[in-house]
Amino acid sequence: MRIGTDSALAQLRALIEVEAPAPGDRLPTERVLAARIGCSRATLRGALARLEAEGELWRRVGQGTFRGRAPIGTPLRDHLLLEATTPEELMDARLLLEPQVAAAAALRREPGDLAHLHARVAEGRAARDRAASERADDAFHQALAQVARNPVLIALLRHFSGARCRAVWQREWDRTYRRVGVAEFRGLHSDQHAAVVEAVAQGDAGAAQEAMARHLETVRVAMAGGAAEG
């Protein structure tokens, strides 16, 4: 039995505290939220609209729903930049930035960070479909930025995450996924994530940087191969 807007709103508030505890955190998709709450998409949208009106969240087409108030002067230029960015350009940016993020994480990690990173790797190994694989991958990379303890890096990784939600990226990713299969995401990609975590645990910035570069190069090559065959 479907629930009404008031009940959905109460459950949505509780869910947000778990899934998006900090301002700027992105909420799960409408499909996931509706399934978790047990309401229709229409009911969920009514609850989301209520929270948006209260300033509890904000939404941007093509990127998702976020905790907190919308930034003053919504960055239209950033939105247009994402729309103009190709998957190849995004991977190039990731290869330039994320190995450095991994190196910083190795130098700044604290004991409690390692369990969090290992849990993100475990989520990747447990993924059963493309959507779960992508969520786990995104969570791992953002967790690593959090360990680096630089709010600018965290924001940049979230920016990259928003670009990965765009249709043009998803088309290329779908081609890649069909070619390599979910087993590679659970196996090779998770192994590569684990190698990054091991280097971070050892405090070895150089090894963490190299491990992340190898991982992203694997993704880049896989996506290039999928595009060539598509």
* Residues in Cβ contact with 58 at an 8 Å cutoff, skipping those fewer than 6 apart: 52, 65, 66, 68, 69, 70
pLDDT tens column, 115-155: 999 999 999 999 888 778 878 888 899 899 999 999 888 88
Work out the pLDDT band at 175, boundaries 50, 70, 90.
low
Tell me the CATH number for domain 5-67. 1.10.10.10
The CATH code of the domain at 76-229 is: 1.20.120.530
Give the integer Cα–Cα distance in Å for 56 and 16.
10
> Same CATH fold, 76-229 and 5-67?
no
User: Which residues 6+ apart lie within 8 Å of 131 measured at CB?
Assistant: none
Domains in the chain: boundaries: 5-67, 76-229
Does residue 73 surpass a pLDDT of 80? no
